[in-house]
Amino acid sequence: MNVYFDNAATTPLDPAVFEAMKPYLLEHYGNPSSIHTHGRKVRTALEQARKKVADLLNVTPGEIFFTSGGTEADNTAIRCSIRDKGVKHLISSKIEHHAVTHTLEAKEKEGVKISYVNLSGDGEVDYDHLEDLLKNNSNSMVSLMHANNEIGNLLDLKRVGDLCETYGAIFHSDTVQSMAHYVHDLSQLKLDFAVGSAHKFHGPKGIGFLYINHEMKINPFIHGGAQERNMRGGTENVCGIVGLAKAMEIAYGEMEAHRKHIENLKKRTIEKLRASIDGVGFNGLSDDLDKSLYTVLNICLPPSEDNDMLLFNLDINGISVSGGSACTSGSNIGSHVLAELDRDQSRGAIRFSFSKYNTEEEVDYAVEKLASLYQGQTIPA
């Protein structure tokens, strides 16, 4: 059996998305900036895609800017706010995606003050500490992700948006993992920047978008031509943009059914793991269905000398999942997220992340294999 449980890394393309993209690879090849018929046809498709995304998020098309993906969108939001909006202080967390943490580290070297909000042992944001940081620092920007890609923890976007409004701070949220998995009414949330990446919701890779609230005026991040209303130079990835909008439309149309299906798979995995591996646990809040992204489950295995081999052995058995041991033995390739949690760092960690295409049979197979591989290992006395 071949099982793909690494959907937080990327999702398979929906064949209907591929069909929607095909004409923009083969027939409609004009440059959308060209004013002749070939160009205008493509321009129309591009603007329809923008309108679709905007409608789904309940914002205006002028607030959606297509980018090469989540990383570029995060960089644009943070770097342009510092450069153009007088941000002197950034508040973030130690468990953000590297698209944010590495950007912040680079800005810190240039003299920007960075504060990290306290987290509970499970990685939950301490909202009182966040308020203190906002109260005691002017010209702040908050960058906190909505759904953590490793442990699934969800942020209360409304609460953070209200705090940012109270203290006059800019609010950016890396919404890559939750975009098109939840309905985001961006007209209601007090977000200045939100982010989407198509390959996390069955769209193509290398295309995403940045939502910029209309009151937030920034200058271009990538200089070049007049594309994206002068905000992002470079000929648009038209087939990617068409695919992104189609993938988002499908995701919104089927969201409740898919959510139910995926939640059921997650619950089944938790129950079966508890029944088959003594001492199994879950990292962060990932086994709390109300407080975590329904697609992600981060499994915490009792210590074993062979835990590092588990991913490899699962792979041999046709199961693709992702790992994330904390930084140990001087190695720097561990998970910076797990390292921040209050957990026994010698325990193994495996992330299962599900999609609409996964089945109960796959869950049963993967859990059975994981349990038998784990039980065959050397467990320290």
- Using CB under 6 A as the criterion, which residues of the chain lie in contact with ligand PLP when the complex forms? 69-71, 74, 97, 99, 145, 149, 174, 176-177, 197, 208
Q: Pick the closer one to ligand PLP by CB: 149 or 227.
A: 149
Q: Angle at CA 268, nearest 5°, toward 265 and 252?
A: 20
97 vs 349: CA distance, rounded Å? 18
Q: Pick the closer one to ligand PLP by CB: 70 or 220.
A: 70
Q: Pick the closer one to ligand PLP by CB: 251 or 370.
A: 251
- Give the chain's radius of gyration (CA, Å): 21
Task: Please state the closest distance from residue 378 (CB atom) to ligand PLP, in A.
Answer: 33
Helices and strands (H and E) in the chain: how many: 12, 12
Q: Pick the closer one to ligand PLP by CB: 69 or 243.
A: 69
Task: Please state the closest distance from residue 238 (CB atom) to ligand PLP, in A.
Answer: 18
| C-beta neighbour count of 275 within 10 angstroms | 11
Task: Please state the closest distance from residue 79 (CB atom) to ligand PLP, in A.
Answer: 15
Q: Pick the closer one to ligand PLP by CB: 155 or 231.
A: 155
197 vs 179: CA distance, rounded Å? 8
SS3 readout for 305-352: CCHHHHHHHHHHCCEECECCCCCCCCCCCCCCCHHHCCCCCCCEEEEE
Task: Please state the closest distance from residue 205 (CB atom) to ligand PLP, in A.
Answer: 7
Distances (CA, A) of 267 to 33, 235, 287, 351: 49, 44, 8, 14
Residues annotated as catalytic are 327
223 phi/psi in degrees, rounded to 5 = -85, 145
Distances (CA, A) of 182 to 100, 121, 157, 196, 257: 22, 26, 12, 12, 12
Indicate the angle between helix axes 98-109 and 70-85, nearest 10 degrees.
Answer: 30
Task: Please state the closest distance from residue 322 (CB atom) to ligand PLP, in A.
Answer: 10
Q: Pick the closer one to ligand PLP by CB: 243 or 302.
A: 243
Task: Please state the closest distance from residue 67 (CB atom) to ligand PLP, in A.
Answer: 8
